[in-house]
Amino acid sequence: MMRIVLCLIVFATPALAFDERQLMALKAEGQCIACDLSGADLTGADLAHANLWRADLHGANLAGADLSGANLRDANLAGADLSEATLSEANLKYAALSGASLHAANLAGANLLAADLVAANLGEADLTYAYLAHADLRGVSVAGTTWRNATLSEADLDGVDLSDLDLTSTALRNTKVAGATFCRTQTPWGQEDSGC
């Protein structure tokens, strides 16, 4: 079974939204299906391969947490801090990540099918082999991101600044790029400077 070590659990405020027993369950069993951990401070937690299907983690602090291989399908991570978190190979299908900070997160091989990433911060994130088909990426920040062999087919990139990115190996079939900005962007059809 998986080893769960919660490094820094801070119960600072008395108005905690989540149930402490659920957090204990997550610690003991490595799973916490549909549980309420909204606003929890799980900074740097080792949640590798944890089953958090449908968990409510909105506003949670997961900065630097290890969620590699975790099941976060349908989870609510809106507004969560996932900066520098490891989400490689994580299942984030249909997850709500709007407004979340994924700055410098490792999303290599993560599955973000139809995930809601509206206005999320993906700056410096590694999205190598990440699957984002049908994902809603309107208004996300993607400066310095790595998209090698990633899939963005059918995704919505309206209002996204794609300047200086290398998308040469990224699948873009039917991706909504009409409102995206291309400037020094490396694409399968060459350098695109239409938005410079």
Partner 1 sequence: MVRYTTRQLAALLVILLASPAAAFDDTDLQRMVALNQCEACDLREARLAGADLSRGALPGADLRQADLRQADLSDARLPQARLAKADMSGADLTGAVLGQADLRNAILAGADMGFADLRGAELSNANLVGARLVRAELGRATLRRSDLTGANLGKIEAIDADLSGATLIGANLIRANLHKAFMGEADLTGAFMTEAVLSRADLAGAVMVEADLEQANLRGAFLNDVDFSQANLVDADLSGADLSGAILYQTRASGANLARVTLSSASLSDADLSGADLTGALADASDMTAALLVGATLTKADLDGATLDRADLTGATLRYANLRGAKLAGADLSGAVLRKANLTKADLTGAKLEGADLTGAILCGTTLPSGEEENGGCRE
Contacts with partner 1, residue ranges (CB under 8 A)? 172-175, 177-178, 187-190
Cβ atoms of 116 and 96 closer than 8 Å: yes
Q: How far is the CB of 158 from partner 1 (least distance, A)?
A: 14
**Shortest gap between Cβ of 145 and partner 1 (angstroms)?**
18
- Minimum CB separation from partner 1 for residue 162, in Å? 12
Nearer to partner 1, 15 or 178 (CB): 178
Residue that has been written with the tokens 């699957």 in this structure: 131
Rounded distance between C-alpha atoms, residue 23 and residue 178, angstroms: 43
User: What's at 128, amino acid-wise?
Assistant: T
Can you tell me the distance from the alpha carbon of 166 to that of 191, in angstroms, rounded to the nearest whole number? 9
Most distant CA pair in the chain: distance in Å?
55
Nearer to partner 1, 15 or 189 (CB): 189
Pair 54, 32: CB distance under 8 Å: no
- Cα 37 from Cα 92, distance rounded (Å): 17
Least Cβ distance, residue 176 to partner 1 (angstroms): 9
Which residue number, 92 or 160, has a Cβ lying nearer to partner 1? 160
Closer residue to partner 1 (CB): 82 or 155: 155
